[in-house]
Structure 1
Amino acid sequence: MRKEIAMHPEGWWQDTQDIPSIVRAVYECISGPAGAPRDWDRFRFLQHAQARSLRTVVEEDGSTRAMVFDVESYIANVEPFFAQNAFFEVETEQRVQRFGQVAHVWSRYDARPAPDSPVLLKRGANSIQLCHEHGRWWIFSTVWDNEREGVIFDLW
């Protein structure tokens, strides 16, 4: 078990007790006004030590590639963007599939400059894989893509 588990705010532990709560907590960690510090310690607490994230990158020629991060490299990658941009990712729909101690979540989202803003920055879907161990849920991987021409939501 990781060391920081013993020293955390009680609310963080509550975040990990059910799937909707842990997903909501991730969105809360990455959302905020431009320049506002994100709660990276809470974000780290939600992720398994071996967690990975994968962002789909669309190149100028329309081709795609995967950008893969561990927790620390993801934080380093997004911090400059969050320093300059207001960004609130708001879940709009969730589908959970669970078998025993593993779960998969399809989470659709809208990104906006404020939670209630009519301005849509982008929308997309997160594929989140979780495992329940040591009395809590852990995020093991998050893979996402953004909506764009030719990519439609056909999950539902």
Structure 2
Amino acid sequence: MKKVILLLVLFAFSFSTKAQEKSVKYSQKVATLDSTIQTLYAVISGEKDEERDWDLFKYLFMQNAKLIPTSKNEEGFFVARYMSPSDYINTSKSWLVENGFFEKEIHRTVNTFGSITQVFSTYEAYQSETDTKPLLRGINSIQLLYDGVRWWVVNVFWTQETPESPIPQEYLPRD
């Protein structure tokens, strides 16, 4: 019985130490609103055959966070699909590595009250960082919480631009 308890204590200590190492390693990535948003874009971006840092991706998100893409269903109605960060990794990991994908923020509007922030982040997506013409554009609605120490992504809710629904000028860069 003593051996089982000792093993459990050692396992808990090991898990706690790994969590602390991650916290130290990634703390600057979530120290400010700007660094958190930049990290969110950077962590999913990469050239073809380039692995992503999925531990960092998961570190950005609060427990029970959701990633919510919208699209038209077969009947032509917009629907939302709810994914956990792990669901997103499972559905996107292979595609991102096999195809290459870079998502770049081109404009941002921010609204904050107390510890909560809502960011409308306009993006362009490319297959390679060297591409000059985007594959697609859209808006990420990112909800975040500042807990007094770090920023947490609570939800990312997004839609892509379409010919029928272009991005409004107020969400595009001013030249």
Contact 2:144 2:153 in 1 (8 A): yes
Deviations 1:41-76 (A, max 9, x none): 111111111110100122355332211101100110
2:139 to 115, 119, 125: 125
Secondary structure in 2 matching 1:23: helix
2:67 paired with 1:53? yes
Q: Which has the higher strand share?
A: 1
Contact 1:5 1:45 (C-alpha < 8 Å) held by counterparts? no
Normalising to structure 1: TM-score of the pair?
A: 0.90
Q: Which residue of 2 aligns with 1:80?
A: 94
Equivalent residue of 1:68, what SS? Answer: coil
Q: Taking structure 2 as the reference length, what is the TM-score of the superposition?
A: 0.81
Which of 46, 49, 74 is equivalent to 1:32? 46
> Equivalent residue of 2:22, what SS?
coil
Distance 1:100 1:45 in 2: 23
Superposition pairs for residues 4-153 of structure 1, below 5 Å?
A: 5-8=19-22, 10=24, 12-133=26-147, 135-153=149-167
Contact kept, 8 Å, 1:113 with 1:119, in 2: the verdict is: no
Percent identical residues: 28
Residue type at the aligned position of 1:25 = T
**What is the distance in 1 between the residues matched to 2:148 and 2:84?**
21
- CA distance, structure 2, for counterparts of residue 9 and residue 133 of structure 1: 14
SS at match of 1:153: coil
- Secondary structure of 1:24's match? helix
Structure 1 range deviating more: 123-132 or 3-12: 3-12
Identify the residue that residue 5 of structure 2 maps to in structure 1: none
In structure 1, runs of 5+ residues without a counterpart are none
Larger-Rg structure: 2
Note the residue ranges of structure 2 that are not aligned, 5 or more in a row: 1-14, 171-175
Secondary structure of the residue aligned to 1:13 is helix
**Is the CA contact 2:46–2:97 (under 8 Å) kept in the aligned structure 1?**
no
Deviation sequence 1:15-60 (CA, Å, 0-9, x none): 1111111000011100001221111111111111111010012235
Number of aligned residues: 155
CA distance in 2, matches of 1:20, 1:73: 25
Q: Deviations over 1:119-140 (max 9, x none)?
A: 3110000000001115111000
Do 1:90 and 1:115's aligned partners in 2 also have CA atoms closer than 8 Å? no
RMSD: 2.0
Moved more, 55-64 or 142-151: 55-64
